[in-house]
């Protein structure tokens, strides 16, 4: 059969018909190598089928129901738990706590079904020491230290687990593929075989993945397409707070987040994380503003801090931590152009409290008011939360789930809120949300929670100064 020559990037798997020095996908230099591929081959019918095709209404959906992991915060992100036959990819930086979380969950799942934990990065003794430390010992939790795919399959056939944990997929190699473990070809081959085995056996599978220095999942992009769920484990190395965020989920929402506390005796979920991202002080401080962001169905109050300082440098610094730097730059431009703020000769630093990363457009107004407060050295009124998306013309746009956000703020003791006009309508909210009452054109959440509505940034600034 005739063969044709192609080229593939060894870092990300990008393909091209001719050789280039730089990958067109990941922009890496010197990673595009030649490979040969068989020309188009026609496929004849007659192959064995795993099951006959049936009308979709006759397919049993009960087998796809999620089963709890015993860790409520992990269940929240997964959409209720692990589905039989589902393949989950958990990625995160080294030492962030991925193995600890999975070992904790595996020990609790072992109370209901057999679990096989395969480690390729540590010895079995090292994992046993961690299990002793966090109390994750159970007779139905089996442990194996393997780096060969065929040996891993042998363990699965002997143990017959309901859950398989592979830590990590980049350390497992196959003799059927070229390259070293962790390479594009090896990762694709190993992941493809594990996914196929999980679907055939109805076995839930969790794969641990490495990340690059940019924070993206290492290996070919096809790895994320093969699996059913992609979770990202993130957090500040100098903090105990850890967060698991869903990037892809075929069985549940992709905007949920789980909060965890990593300590010496293990890792545990934080059911109420509302107070983690707000500073607790007795007196208002210039340059701080509290907002409420939505992480899936969970409202989280968060504090935005800003510092404006004069500088003699020709190019003032613009630094952000926990915020989208491009969106912060846009907000600063609107602040200078629409409110005549003079920030040209000043360094502007913006950050969040507690290490949370905010990307919700509803935080725009809080960033703007925090910077304005820092520039004017005047603190915002106490007990105030701010919501609103800022447009380039200076208008304020309504945001979603305003009632739920304000209900959470009222629960935590805040007494007033600044929101865009039209965000709330008179009447009763949903169950569990505060009711809105309008008296003489003024809105309030009963009892004692006032809502101030503003059409643009000028109105917003005038209401609080």
Q: Is 137 flagged in the annotation as binding?
A: no
* Phi, psi torsion values for 311, nearest 5 degrees: -140, 155
Task: Write the DSSP assignment of 104-123 as a string of letters.
Answer: HHHHHHTTTS-EEEEESSS-
96 is known to lie in a ligand binding site: yes
- Partnered with residue 294 across adjacent β-strands are 299
Alpha-carbon separation of residue 2 from 5, 19, 36, 285 (angstroms): 10, 20, 10, 74
- Dihedral angle, C-alpha 369, 370, 375, 376, nearest 10 °: 60
**CB atoms near residue 461 (< 10 Å):** 21
Tell me the residue length of the chain. Answer: 465
Q: Residue 454 forms beta bridges with which residues?
A: 420
Please say whether the beta carbons of 427 and 436 come within 8 A: yes
Is 299 flagged in the annotation as binding?
A: no
Report whether 247 belongs to an annotated binding site: no
Name the residue among 108, 125, 106, 129 with its Cα closest to residue 116: 106
Q: Is 107 annotated among the ligand-binding residues?
A: no
Q: What is the distance between the alpha carbons of residues 66 and 74, in angstroms, rounded to a whole number?
A: 12
98 is in an annotated binding site: yes
CA atoms within 13 A on the CB side of 135: 6
298 and 257 Cβ atoms separated by less than 8 Å: yes
Q: Please tell me whether 84 is known to bind a ligand.
A: no
**In whole angstroms, how far apart are CA 388 and each of 54, 329, 346, 362, 399?**
50, 17, 25, 5, 6
Nearest to 246 by CA among 39, 442, 76: 76
Query: E strands, 112-195, where?
Result: 115-119, 141-145, 163-167
In terms of Cβ atoms closer than 10 Å to its own Cβ (0-12, 13-18, 19+), residue 179 is middle
Strand partners, 115: 141, 163
**How far is residue 304 from each of residues 109, 278, 337, 371, 409, measured CA to CA in Å?**
39, 9, 22, 9, 15
Q: Is 97 annotated as a binding residue?
A: yes
Question: Distance (Å, rounded) from C-alpha 204 to C-alpha 151?
Answer: 19
- Residues flagged as binding site for ATP: 92-99
- Residues flagged as binding site: 92-99
């Amino acid at each position: 059969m005739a063969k044709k020559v192609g080229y593939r990037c060894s870092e990300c798997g990008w393909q091209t018909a001719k050789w280039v020095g730089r990958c067109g996908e990941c922009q890496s230099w010197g990673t595009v190598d030649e490979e040969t591929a068989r020309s188009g081959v026609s496929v004849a019918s007659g192959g064995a089928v795993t099951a006959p095709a049936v009308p979709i209404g006759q397919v049993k959906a009960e087998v796809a129901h999620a089963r709890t992991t015993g860790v409520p915060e992990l269940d929240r992100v997964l959409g209720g738990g692990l589905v039989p036959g589902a393949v989950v990819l958990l990625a995160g930086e080294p030492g962030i706590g991925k193995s600890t979380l999975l070992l904790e969950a595996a020990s609790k799942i072992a109370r209901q079904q057999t679990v096989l934990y395969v480690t390729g990065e540590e010895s079995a003794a090292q994992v046993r020491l961690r299990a002793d430390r966090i109390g994750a010992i159970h007779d139905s939790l089996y442990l194996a230290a393997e780096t060969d795919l065929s040996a891993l399959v042998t363990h699965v056939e002997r143990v017959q687990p309901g859950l398989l944990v592979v830590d990590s997929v980049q350390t497992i190699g196959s003799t059927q593929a070229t390259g070293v473990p962790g390479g594009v070809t090896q990762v694709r081959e190993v992941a493809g075989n594990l996914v196929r085995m999980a679907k055939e056996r109805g076995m839930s599978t969790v794969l641990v993945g490495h990340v690059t220095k940019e924070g993206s999942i290492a290996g070919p992009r096809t790895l994320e397409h093969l699996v059913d769920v992609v979770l990202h484990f993130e957090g500040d190395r100098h903090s105990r707070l850890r967060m698991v965020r869903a990037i892809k989920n075929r069985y549940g929402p992709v905007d949920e987040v789980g909060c965890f506390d990593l300590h010496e005796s293990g890792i545990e979920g934080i059911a109420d994380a509302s107070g983690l991202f707000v500073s607790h002080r007795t007196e208002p401080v210039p340059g701080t503003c509290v907002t409420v962001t939505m992480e899936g169905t969970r409202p989280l109050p968060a504090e935005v801090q800003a510092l404006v300082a004069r500088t003699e440098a020709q190019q003032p610094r613009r630094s952000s931590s926990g915020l989208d730097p491009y969106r912060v730059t846009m907000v600063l431009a609107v602040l200078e152009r629409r409110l005549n703020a003079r920030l040209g000769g000043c360094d502007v630093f913006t950050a969040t409290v507690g290490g949370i990363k905010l990307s919700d457009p509803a935080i725009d107004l809080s960033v703007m008011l925090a910077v304005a407060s820092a520039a004017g050295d005047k603190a915002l009124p106490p007990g105030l939360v701010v919501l609103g998306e800022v447009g380039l013309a200076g208008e304020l746009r309504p945001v979603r789930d305003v009632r739920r956000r304000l209900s959470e703020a009222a629960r935590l003791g805040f007494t007033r809120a600044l929101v865009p006009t039209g965000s709330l309508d008179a009447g009763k909210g949903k169950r569990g949300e505060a009711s809105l009452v309008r008296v003489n054109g003024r809105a309030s959440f009963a009892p004692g929670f006032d809502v101030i509505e503003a059409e643009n940034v000028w109105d917003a600034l005038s209401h609080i100064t």
